Chains A and B, each alone.
Chain A
Amino acid sequence: MSSWLLKLCSGLLRLCLPLHVADALIGDLYEEYNTKRLDGGVNKAQMWLLSQTARSIWPFLLSTSYTLRAIMMLQGLFVFMVLAIAIMYLSNMDDASRLSVEFWPQWMAGKPHQLFLEQDFWQFAFARELHESNIQMWLNPLSMAYAGLAWMLIKRFEKQIKPSLIVHLFFVAGLMALPYLWGVLIFILFQPEIRLTGPIVVSMWFPILYLVLPLSWSLANSVSYRLGLS
């Protein structure tokens, strides 16, 4: 039993910890386990072993650059996927009445993000619209130009100003949010007809779509470097 438990704990640790740390740590675990087994009995030693294994995994899961990068990239990927599906959903929508009656007034008030609160979007978008798109739909020259410019500005800002992490995050978030706020302003100031709102929403969402993945990667690297993890 104890041999089986030791192997299980060692396997878990080797799976979750960097290998150069895992080997030495497992050796320490064996050494202390054997001492505790002789001093206090097998049951006590096994309880200690399980508790040490559980407590030893999480500091590395939380602190390694790999995990941090993975979490930040997953967040970016989630935003990217939701936005991409929303774009496909709206591009292929043939019946506007599928959305709730409250949605369109909100849309006209410059709140297209209300789509993410719509039941129909979450229920059907994934299954229905996923394959109905072509490559040209994803190319928006104006948004691409903005995304390129924003990327260059961010890189120059990083290099020349060397901002603190908080300032860096605000700068990146600000540049990503700018087209969105600009679009909201156009909705409020000009109150365009509904047939003209599509391109405005495109200019609000596409820059985020283009920027979110490279910026997530860049930010993940920057955060792990600053936390001394890379």
Chain B
Amino acid sequence: MPKDELQLGEFEQYVLLAVLSLKKGAYGASIRQQLHEAISRDVSLGALYATIERLEKRGLVSSNLDGATAKRGGKAKRMIEVTAIGKKALQRSRQQLTTMWGLAQLRGITYV
């Protein structure tokens, strides 16, 4: 896989991390709530699903339908899981950020 395919945007990283933290319980509403509670990001379900679609096309997450209930108007949940490629992409993003933070600290920038 080309290295560019592993490049993640900030919101993509948040979504992948939220999915990982929710383990087997990651679907639209739970990811949205997790992002709201953890980092106070009030995202729309549409923006979230657009990102999930993009990540799935790139092979970074996979999904399957499960758990239709009356509370959900009889609609199934789209359960999301991070794939091995998704985890690799997250690790790469973390390494890049750590490297850049390290560089900034080497230059004496400690006030951020």
Chain A positions within 8 Å of B, measured between CB atoms, are: 6, 10, 17-18, 21, 23-32, 34, 52, 55-60, 63, 228
Contacts and interface: CB of A to CB of B under 8 A. Distances in A.
Contacts of A59: 44, 46-47, 49-50
B41 to A, nearest CB: 13
A63 B45 contact: no
Given A28-B28, A28-B32, A32-B29, A55 B46 contact: yes
B12 to A, nearest CB: 12
B76 A27 contact: yes
Interface in B32-52: 32-33, 44-47, 49-50
A24 B76 contact: yes
Interface in B83-103: none
A196 B49 CA distance: 59
A57 B29 contact: no
Given A30-B71, A52-B45, A24 B78 contact: yes
A192 to B, nearest CB: 52
B19 to A, nearest CB: 14
Contacts of A6: 73
A28 B46 contact: no
Interface residues of B, number: 26
Q: Is the interface of A mostly helix, strand, loop or mixed?
A: helix
Contact of B54 (A18, A30, A57, A228): A228
Contacts of A60: 46, 49-50
Contact of A17 (B33, B46, B65, B73): B46
13 contacts: A17-B49, A23-B76, A24-B77, A27-B72, A27-B74, A27-B77, A28-B32, A28-B72, A28-B77, A56-B44, A56-B47, A59-B50, A63-B54
Contact of A25 (B33, B49, B65): B49
Contacts of A29: 45
Given A30-B72, A30-B73, A24 B44 contact: no
Given A6-B73, A52-B44, A52-B45, A28 B50 contact: no
A228 B75 contact: no
Given A10-B73, A228-B57, A27 B47 contact: no
B28 A24 contact: yes
A17 B44 CA distance: 14
Contacts of A32: 29, 32-33
A56 B45 contact: yes
Contacts of B50: 59-60, 63
Contact of B73 (A26, A55, A57): A26
A17 B48 CA distance: 13
A28 B27 contact: yes
A112 B72 CA distance: 61
Contacts of A23: 75-76
Nearest to B63: A24
Contacts of A34: 71
A133 to B, nearest CB: 45
Contacts of A30: 71-73, 75
